[in-house]
Amino acid sequence: MTESLGKIYSARGRSSHPRPLVLGLIGFPVSHSLSPVLHHAALDAVGLAGEYHRYPVPPLPQGQALLVDLVNRVRAGELHGLNITIPHKQSMLAQVDRLTETAAAIQAVNTIYLEGNQIIGENTDAPGFAAALQRAFNQAGFFAPDRRSVIILGAGGSARAVVYALDRSGWQINLAARRPQQAIDLLNQVVQPHSREKHTTIGLNSKDIGSCLESRSQVNLIVNTTPLGMSPDIGSNPWPNEVPLPGNAFIFDLVYNPRETSLMMLARQSGLPVASGLGMLVEQAARSFERWTGLQAPLEVMYRAVEDLGN
């Protein structure tokens, strides 16, 4: 369906198509989301008529009926596609007819659309993160060595996509979590079987992270997947105060509000290259846009749209 929509819309253009695209975001809360800004900019750039709405859906079981209703509206063609964010990325697994290979491996869905008569569950977070990370490396002139080792802070839904992407890019993963079993389960479920033995789980505390840095002298990347440092709690920091950041690492914080988190400020003070989650937000949105429309996303337009908000 997505390919035919793209062909139809691109051929007829904004003014002549009788049915504008209706897209949106399911989550709770969603009032802070920049996704409408991204997708309206993308629609404008490619000349498609359409709208992108926020749909606040409370956590299950309270939000069950509303969640099912929105999925049924996609099935009926009333909605052309939806993004899914916290807390429904795993709740959506039970609502779709088929998962893509990536979504099945990660066991989380952030994008749905209709293909034929089936609701497809996709995960664009993983390729979005991989693309954003490479873009950030390039902009900073950072070159990760052949022996790549990363400490990932947190083992929640966002970490699943990050682990998936880095495992398949050959990184050795040290997954730091407050709940050890959650981290173990994540690795067992998401990483490729042949690479499982090279990855480790550690506690999200100064002792375990300090020991990891001592034993893994070539930690090149730190990725924060926790919400610590996110507005309004901007003073919090997921990195232990007692542990210096590794001297040759790139710091990638998935938080994008505020634009510079406590972790990023600490990294800059240590002379380390940093990036926020804004790039991942744009890159995953671009891939969702392409699934829905069949058109190439206007990536640089989308980047400028959110960057302009910070000026």
pLDDT digits (tens, 9 = 90+) for 106-144: 999 999 999 999 999 999 999 999 999 999 999 999 987
pLDDT one-digit tens code per residue, 1-41: 444 454 444 443 433 444 799 999 999 989 989 999 999 99
Residue 149 has a CB neighbour count (10 Å cut-off) of 22
Non-local CB neighbours of 32 within 8 Å, separated by 6+ positions? 231, 257
Residue 89 is among the residues annotated as catalytic for this protein: yes
Where do the CATH 3.40.50.10860 domains begin and end in the chain? 2-123+284-295
pLDDT, one tens digit per residue, over 219-261 is: 999 999 999 999 888 889 999 999 999 988 999 999 998 999 9
Separation CA 265–CA 121 (nearest Å): 36
What pLDDT, on a 0 to 100 scale, did the predictor assign at position 199?
96
Sheet containing 250-253: order of strands = 200-203, 172-177, 149-153, 219-224, 250-253, 274-275
For the chain, residues classed under CATH 3.40.50.720 are: 143-272
Looking at the structure, give the CATH architecture of the domain made up of residues 143-272: 3-Layer(aba) Sandwich (3.40)
172-193 exposure pattern, b = at least 16 Cβ within 10 A, e = fewer:
bbbbbbeebeebeebbeebbee
**Catalytic-labelled residue, pool 7, 89, 198, 207:** 89
pTM over 0.85: yes
CATH 3.40.50.10860 fits 2-123+284-295, yes or no: yes
Residue 147, both tokens: 């022996």
